[in-house]
Structure 1
């Protein structure tokens, strides 16, 4: 069920069911299905001083709750190669870094390609399985033989209205809000050695259950005045691996949503992960392994904390979400 969050405490939305119809929604996904009907009521409810007072006086401490992903989308999408510094970093890494042979030329070529894409290109988006969605806080099970599990902290845009063929100027109207995402990827499985001409295999590299932790909470769009100013950070065992702002995006979130709507129908509750900044494990020369603590945060959207553990057979590749946990809105 949906909960409201304030200052580290949370209270079920059903506490207001007697006065507000939105309080009778059984899940945040259900609430999003009628987002145009509920949005103004939720905004009004959350701006009342007495609402915050009630959460603080009667709510549970967030640390005492077992938190699940706030959204279980019907469709989930991931935008690839959408941060300028990450694209340049990847181009430099291929040739041995800034000190490798031909480094200035590789950098210049990457920057030229980015400039050309920004003027004439479009986002590169893959469709991914909603079964990947996992918990934002708890354990992350790594299967034996998975040695290149990489991190990608992202801003996830949550759709709140049916959309088809909209323009970038109208895309903001269909974004209900945002979540933190970590688009975990088995880096060595991206390219198919048996089919090198066919490019990337996002099924085997991104398809594992639990490999797309979302949350810990959903933040309505009106609480995020300018998503391009959000800061994304990811740390492993306290060491910062990624740290940048969404301003480095090649294609902004509204551009991405508009692009998607031209190629498929978007529906309430769909999720678009909008790309990840520089600092992948493939750049740092290390990947996630049992014993690691991976922390992913986005300004104002919350923080994920996942402890990597060795998977116990016969579980799937990564631990799936639990259906009994809490869905939180800030």
Structure 2
């Protein structure tokens, strides 16, 4: 097998052996003594999915924050009431509703370390640190109780979104447009690591953090999800077949750029991390164009970026 993606596509055939191998103390000792310093490597996304899904509006704090920010703003007289009403509605939706999931292009997947190219005219590029679930078995119509059995592992994701392009002014009644707001090349960095499911026994306890230029913008735990990982998998599998290597990004906590009143621009350094899953580090750069030639998208190695 030439890649981790190929390995995951045959996950049921190899999971038991890999679990035994990676759990052995001697293997850990060998990796520690002979492993290569990742600072000398160019890190790419560990998984190249055939299908990628993103769950929208799945953290209570984020939905409440967005509600409070409307009207007279987050510090206005009506903010507390809007926040309370949003939380009450979320409690009802959690009991009786379903997740909101969009199908997004796997062509968005980019490396977790290096440069993130921002094209001219992209002025509202927003961040969304997320836990990405990697599917390990072909499945259709699983239940929330059996959903854990189809998970191969987890990754860090940053579901970058051009916020001003989510809604279509020319088609206001048709709702959200995810292709223009979430289609930018490199806008779904994955990794740096793929962590097998047996090393993440309690996904709801994972802590998600994102900083821009060393200022923390997002910081919460996955137990703030409206629909947990198992319910999300069950929902998606009810409407389409999931196959090994597919990726489901499970929502993002409060603290979007839209709330902070600033978006990503060239020169920013974005660090997105999840407990035990590693950290991404991307530097935003302006797209370089040469007359008569296609725009270029430079990618620096981790060593160059950190140096």
Larger displacement relative to structure 2 (280-289 or 26-35):
26-35
Unaligned runs of 5+ in 1: 1-24, 326-330
* Structure 2 SS opposite 1:79: strand
Once the two structures are superposed, the pairs formed by residues 1-330 of structure 1 within 5 Å of their partners are 25-313=1-289, 314-315=294-295, 319=297
Deviation of the 1:105 alpha carbon: 2.8
Deviation of the 1:101 alpha carbon: 4.2
Deviation of the 1:98 alpha carbon: 3.5
Name the CA distance, whole Å, in 1 between partners of 2:238 and 2:295: 38
Name the CA distance, whole Å, in 2 between partners of 1:286 and 1:102: 23
TM-score (norm 1): 0.87
RMSD of aligned Cα (Å): 1.6
Q: Deviations over 1:202-227 (max 9, x none)?
A: 00000111100000010000000100
Name the CA distance, whole Å, in 2 between partners of 1:159 and 1:206: 21
Unaligned runs of 5+ in 2: 303-307
Total equivalences in the alignment:
298
Native 8 Å contact 1:149 1:288 kept in 2? yes
Name the CA distance, whole Å, in 1 between partners of 2:218 and 2:132: 16
Shift in alpha-carbon separation, 1:99–1:58, aligned structure 2, 3 A:
closer
* Structure 1 SS opposite 2:146: helix
Deviation of the 1:321 alpha carbon: 8.2
Deviation of the 1:33 alpha carbon: 1.3
Native 8 Å contact 1:69 1:215 kept in 2? yes
Deviation of the 1:320 alpha carbon: 8.9
Deviation of the 1:167 alpha carbon: 0.3
* Structure 2 SS opposite 1:315: coil
Native 8 Å contact 1:210 1:320 kept in 2? no
* Structure 2 SS opposite 1:100: coil
Deviation of the 1:115 alpha carbon: 1.4
TM-score (norm 2): 0.94
